[in-house]
Each structure stands twice: as C-alpha cells, then as structure tokens.
Amino acid sequence: METPDKIFNWVEEWNISFAGCGFRSIYYVGALSCILERVPHLVYGASKICGASSGCLVAAALTLCADILTTAKEARKHTLGVFHPTFSLLRTVRDSLLEKLPEDAHLRASGKLCVSLTRITDGKNVLVSEFASREELIQVLMCSCFFPVYCGFIPPSYHGVLYMDGALSNNMPLFEQRNTITMAPFSGESDICPREGTFNLLETLAEICHNGYMDALCFLRDRVWWSEPNFLAVSR
C-alpha cells in the first residue's frame, strides 16, 4: 500500500477552513458529525476555525461548541433542499444568532474563530479573529454572509466600514497554510469535498449531509489515520 502524498501532521498546529456554499452548508454538518464521532480532537484541538459567507456560520457554531451531531440528525428528517426554511435570508440568520449565541460568545470566539470579509470600498479581503462584544461578533458574521441583492441592498457594517460576502475575496481563509484542513461541498481540491459529481438542485438535505459524512470518512482513512494509526484509540 502506498503512502498518501499529503498526510496530516499532528505535531504542527492545524486549522480548519469552511468555504462559503449557501444552503449546501449542511454538507459540513455531515462531515463534522463523522469527525466528531471518530477523531474529535481533530476539531477540538484546532488552532483556528475559519469560514467565509455561510461557512463562517458553521465555523462559529463549531467554535462555540454547538451540538453538530444533533443538528445532523435533524437534517436527515428534511427533504426540501434549498427551499427548506432552515436556509433563510439574512434577517432570520441574525435573529437566530441573537437568540442562540451565549452572552460570552465573543470571548470564546476571540483568537479561535477567523471570519473572512470583503471590504466594499476596495474589494480587499479582511480576516477578523478578535471580537470585543457579542454584538460585534454577530456584526462580523452578518458582514461575511451579506451577498448583494440576494440579501438586500444596504450592506452591514463593522467598525463603521461597509462589508459584504467574504467569499468574494477569500472563500477559504488560511488555505495557504500547510496544515489547514479545507472543506467545500463542491468537487475540487479541498481536503474534504466530493471527488466527482455535479450540482443537483433536487438533492435532499439528507443526501448532502450523508455525502459530507462519507467524504470526511475518506479523508480520515487516507490522510489522518495514516499519520498516527493509534490516535483513534488514544483520543477516545
């Protein structure tokens, strides 16, 4: 058996980065449920958890220790795909954040969560990983998720500066760092992603979630367990 070209290095610090992907972010729920079931330290030991656009909401939930496994079980019950009300517009997302984020969310997120923003004035990318308050954290997440027209015509601001969808300038924060685990629900070069296949509007949430689980399992088998065969037993 040949050794994979690139195996995960437990000695170095590592990051996890989620690409923006709209309603298909349910793919991440499946992938994370697989990792948390089998090698939870891969998530809990990450130095930074990053995201752009809808990916930053997944990163925030993970940073704040949201129950990903329960979310995955709920996702499997739905079959309406993009039309399911779970995937609503920005105002509903904000209301959900206000309701669910703990009062100390900004303290938990600072230094751990990394959010990609696109500055409207010059189109430059800005990465934010320090948050002075819970409201500031919510503002940063809203800025990263704001896609013009689809989410409205008045962009949100952070520290008085207008921002929009972080995916427009950097859809995979910290991807250039060697030990960053990248995830995307579209086929490509990300560490965890579909290896083939095309976009299918008729695909259900359950199918997207399941595909994420299986792709993550392939990543663990090919790239993580190779690097430390006994780690799975040690981490339990």
Task: Tabulate helix, strand, coil % of the chain (nearest 5).
Answer: 40, 15, 45
Write the single-letter amino acid at 98. Answer: L
Q: Of 65, 13, 3, 33, whose CA–CA distance to 180 is shortest?
A: 13
Known active-site residue 165: yes
Place of tokens 């949430």: 205
What separation, in Å, do the N-terminal and C-terminal C-alpha atoms of the chain show? 27
H or E element that contains 57: helix 54-63
- Separation of alpha carbons 51 and 20, rounded Å: 7
Catalytically annotated residue among 17, 25, 144, 165: 165
Q: Of 190, 192, 186, whose CA–CA distance to 213 is shortest?
A: 192
Catalytically annotated residue among 17, 53, 54, 116: 53
Write the single-letter amino acid at 106. Answer: H
Q: Residues 118, 125: contact at Cβ < 8 Å?
A: yes
Three-state secondary structure call for residue 143:
helix
Residues that are catalytic: 53, 165
